[in-house]
Structures are given as C-alpha cells and as structure tokens.
Amino acid sequence: MKQASVCLTPEQGKKLIAKAIAVLPDVVETVRKGTCVVITGTTNRYVAEELLKLIGEDASLPGFFRGVTVPRGVKAEAADPVEDVVIVKGKRVRGKTVFDVAPGMGKDDLIFKGANAVNLETGEAAVLVGNPALGTSLPLLQASYGRRVPVIIPVGVEKRVPAPIRILAEQVRDPDTVGLHMLPLPGEVFTELDALETLYDLEAEIIASGGVMGAEGAVYFLVSGEDEDVDRFIKDAGTL
C-alpha cells in the first residue's frame, strides 16, 4: 500500500470528475439507450465534453454556463444561444435545453446539474438561484420528483460547506435576507473523492486547501491504495 498527497486546482478537479462520470456503467448505458441532459455549468462543461466523446463527437464547449461567479469588474461571456447538451439514444440533439426535453423524460433517463454548495458528510448539494422562477432548477425538480428522473450532481469539493444544506437554505430563505436564494437539489452528489475511487480505486481525504496565482481554491488530497494505482493517478494528475 502507498500514500501520497496530491494537489488539484478546481479546474483539474472538474476534469477528473467528468472523466470518472463518463465511465460509470449506468451513465454509459443511458447515453447509448436513453436521454441525457447536461445542464450548462462550468463543471458540467467537462461532463458534457466527455459524454460527447462516448458518441464519437469531439467537442469543446466554451461559454457553457448561464451564470458564474467572477471577480468584481470581470465579465464572462456565455455562449449565444444558450443550449444544454442533449443526447438521445447516442445522438446529440442540438438547439434544445432542459426546458424542452425534461417534460418527456422518465426513470431510464438522466439529468446532470451542477451545484454551488455541497455537504460531504450528508451527500447533499444546493444551487444558488437568482431567478424567482428558479431557472433550470424548475424543470429539474419537476423531472426528479414528478417523473423519477435520476439526477447526478457533479460538484468540486472546494464548494464544501460544514452546515447541513437544509439549514443553510432555510437561513437564506429568511424574508429579511437579501441577495441570491439557495435551493437544495435532489440527486446523487459526485465529487473528486468519488472520482478517485471510480477511476483509481483509491481512498482519499482532504488534508489542506488554498493557493494563489490561479490555484485559488486548490485542494490537497491524501490518497491511499495499491502502489500502481497511486502512481497512475499521480501521473494522470499532471495532464488534467
């Protein structure tokens, strides 16, 4: 057995999560036989790109978001027009969004939705909402609760919060609170910790975080496993 500490930036973490999701048997099966919707988001960008590779489409998706957090004075340009990535029975359907597709989805399909907060202990996640009509979260909730559509939430551990999601959401919902709302999400959370287990059969825990000059939000993971698995991850991490 071997242990190693490895640092991943948030961007590297997003890529790692996406690569792991694209090898999950249920995901591969749904991409080929069902309907998958990847809702726009900076982590979901990489998920969408990896799923498109499964159907033979090598695509780059810059601007794959509806809203992002950026430093003051910085403007990020979303793609125009905005569209989610929709794959139906192994074929990409262009020009569609989750609003168009979700009403016809069922239990054999799959939706991917990013998050802004995750509690690693409880496996719960939430998204910040600026739209009073809930934006893309509304068709997601209707599909998940109304038609039992499975949901996967790819989210980096840099978004971890210590308090239970439901308590934070209630605090934000207080009538005297101003700013964005917070909505708990249904679905299965999938982080770098899950990715390390899926791709490399490694156990991992967070031992430190932080950085500068582009490494802000970076996380140090202590990984443990068979020597060859640890070495393989260290090698691959350099190319993420």
Q: What percent of the chain has pLDDT over 90?
A: 88
Structure tokens at 225: 């496993």
Contacts of 211 (CB under 8 A, 6+ apart): 7, 9, 217, 218
Q: In which band, very low, low, confident or very high, does the pLDDT at 73 lie, cut at 50, 70 and 90?
A: confident
How far apart (Å, rounded) are the C-alpha atoms in residues 227 and 202? Answer: 10
Rounded to whole angstroms, what are the CA distances from 67 to 64, 115, 168, 220?
9, 12, 21, 27
* Interval 88-117 mean pLDDT: 97
Q: In which band, very low, low, confident or very high, does the pLDDT at 75 lie, cut at 50, 70 and 90?
A: confident
Average confidence score pLDDT of the chain: 95
In this prediction the pTM is 0.95
